[in-house]
Copies of this chain bind each other. A is one copy, B any other.
Amino acid sequence: MITLTYRIETSGSIEALAAKIASDQSTGTFVALPGETEELKARVAARVLAIRHLAAAERPSIPTTGVGPFKRADVEVGFPLDAIGTDLAALMTIAIGGTYSIRGLSGIRVVDMKLPPEFEGDHPGPRFGIAGSRRLTGVEDRPIIGTIVKPALGLRPPETAAMVGELIDAGVDFIKDDEKLMSPAYSPLSERVKAIMPLILDHEQKTGKKVMYAFGISHADPDEMMRNHDMVLEAGGNCAVVNINSIGFGGMAFLRKRSGLVLHAHRNGWDILTRHPGLGMDFGVWQQFWRLLGVDQFQINGIASKYWEPDDSFVRSFEAVTAPIFSPADCALPVVCSGQWGGQAPETYQRTGRTVDLLYLCGGGIVSHPDGPGAGVRAVRQAWQAAVEDIPLNEFARDHVELARSIEKFADGSGA
């Protein structure tokens, strides 16, 4: 049984709308036919399992001429596995996509999805995940510290490489292309790989430490994306930024099957599916698709991010990607990012179950440290050490000058 929970809103009858969802998405508009169809219908029909009424809304989520109050409820619908199967496109189409077109609702949001064990065997899941990311970066017992080349866009490959050289020297574990950087005319991926990988490999040879660099390989055409993938792999790279929403399930499934790289997912575009609380989908539902498809590292914003997302939502996302769907091996490494500089380490640590299994990604928070990126990296590590030891940052900063200097610069709330 596949179970979906829909938060629905209507000026009509909640019960009727719930029944319509179950009917339209399975064997609805049924006409009597001779033979065994009645038995089959009984076997594959979706069913309303539970209705939990919520406080009505005064205003509709989608503007409507209907008159309130707009009744709200969480409606649980069960789909027999035989009605859908384990294909994720079928699951998305039948259990989610179709419900968005139904007439007579002023709001619908998919808030939960529970998959039966049959899905586990039929999907690859992450190849590297948390354990693989730790192994490849050689980082244990603390967050993997990452950064982004700044400016994110508009640099030519030699300039990008110069910046990467500085970041490698600074001691970061991970560097990535901005998700908007794939292969534009001014910075073709091939030239970027050629300019950057020798620095990574040279540093590895000298120090034994291989910085993980995530190259932007996304392309609408899976064949082109694989060419990008191969280019990175052949040059000795081990990670790629993938704009999962823009390549779709097809791109992701194709890539995962053939990939030798850690797949670092950026969810660009996702916000429009979740930003209105009465519409779309909870991240907890959506991320299950992508983890089954093979995401290793999942960007999920952070405390006090630069974007619209509230902290509570980030915390729920962190819990979501680290909760096993079927087993711990299907968890993705949470990538905490956007406006991070170390100042958010204590709250992040306290609110996400006191774990250090994360990639902590600071752009300006490292690059714009007043004493340079090296000091920036040390400041972030110090912040995490303080967080784990439950020592207030200001206290810890008394004998950790890099942290002190970053507090001076970033703690005014202007962000990193």
Contacts and interface: CB of A to CB of B under 8 A. Distances in A.
Interface of A: 25-31, 33, 35-37, 40-41, 43-45, 59, 61-63, 81-85, 87-90, 92-94, 96-98, 100-105, 108, 150-156, 159, 179-180, 182-186, 218-225, 243, 245-255, 257, 268-273, 275-280, 293, 306-309, 364, 368
B308 A101 contact: yes
Contacts of A247: 89, 248-250
Given A93-B268, A253-B221, A257-B223, A40 B154 contact: yes
A19 to B, nearest CB: 16
A245 B97 contact: yes
A70 B261 CA distance: 45
B88 A220 contact: yes
B275 A62 contact: yes
Report which residue of A36, A186, A268, A278 has the largest number of chain B beta carbons within 10 angstroms of its beta carbon. Answer: A268
Contacts of A308: 101-105
20 contacts: A30-B151, A37-B151, A40-B156, A44-B154, A63-B277, A82-B184, A87-B182, A93-B180, A97-B246, A97-B268, A98-B180, A100-B270, A100-B275, A103-B307, A221-B250, A222-B250, A247-B249, A248-B248, A273-B273, A275-B279
A89 B155 CA distance: 21
A186 B44 contact: yes
A290 to B, nearest CB: 11
A364 B30 CA distance: 11
Given A37-B159, A93-B245, 5 more contacts: A31-B151, A43-B186, A44-B153, A93-B179, A100-B275
Nearest to A59: B59
Given A26-B154, A98-B180, A180-B98, A220 B36 contact: no
B250 A155 contact: no
A366 to B, nearest CB: 13
Contacts of A218: 89-90, 93
B31 A150 contact: yes
Instruction: Report copies per complex.
Output: 2
Nearest to A84: B184
A246 B100 contact: no
Contacts of A307: 101-103
Nearest to A273: B272
Contacts of A275: 62, 100, 279
A151 B63 CA distance: 33
A319 to B, nearest CB: 20
A250 B101 CA distance: 24
A148 to B, nearest CB: 10
A218 B253 CA distance: 13
A36 B155 CA distance: 9
Q: Which 9 A-B pairs have the closest CB atoms?
A: A248-B248, A250-B251, A97-B269, A250-B250, A27-B154, A97-B268, A89-B246, A220-B249, A100-B271
A178 B320 CA distance: 33
A245 B96 CA distance: 11
Contacts of A293: 220
B41 A154 contact: yes
A317 to B, nearest CB: 13
Nearest to A242: B89
Nearest to A42: B154
A249 B185 CA distance: 22
Contacts of A59: 59
B268 A279 contact: no
A183 B225 CA distance: 28
Contacts of A100: 269-272, 275
Nearest to A45: B154
Contact of A276 (B155, B224, B279): B279
Contacts of A186: 40, 43-44, 82-83
